[in-house]
Amino acid sequence: MARGQQKIQSQQKNAEKLAKSKKGTSQKKAAQNALVHTCTVCKSQMPDPKTYKQHFESKHPKNDLPDCLKEV
């Protein structure tokens, strides 16, 4: 009868793992949806215009600033 208890416990552990993995994927999707600004040069994604402007000034100093960042 010991095997029956172990089986139940392993099923519960597997159910918890599945629940955690599903939760993690939804967080990843939400984080991906938050990245709305895409760099015109290197295609990396940023969450807001301020970060985008800092990225552009530090990584692409020779390129002209895009029109959408001149206002920020």
Percent of the chain having pLDDT more than 70? 92
Q: Alpha helices of 1-72 — where are they, by DSSP H?
A: 2-34, 49-59, 67-70
Q: State pLDDT tens for residues 34-64.
A: 888 899 999 999 999 999 999 999 999 999 9
* Bridge partners of residue 45, in order along the sequence: 38
- Regarding pTM above 0.75, the answer is no
Q: What is the pLDDT at residue 3?
A: 79
The rounded distance, in Å, linking the Cα atoms of 5 and 16 is 17
Counting residues of the chain whose pLDDT is more than 90, the rounded percentage is: 42
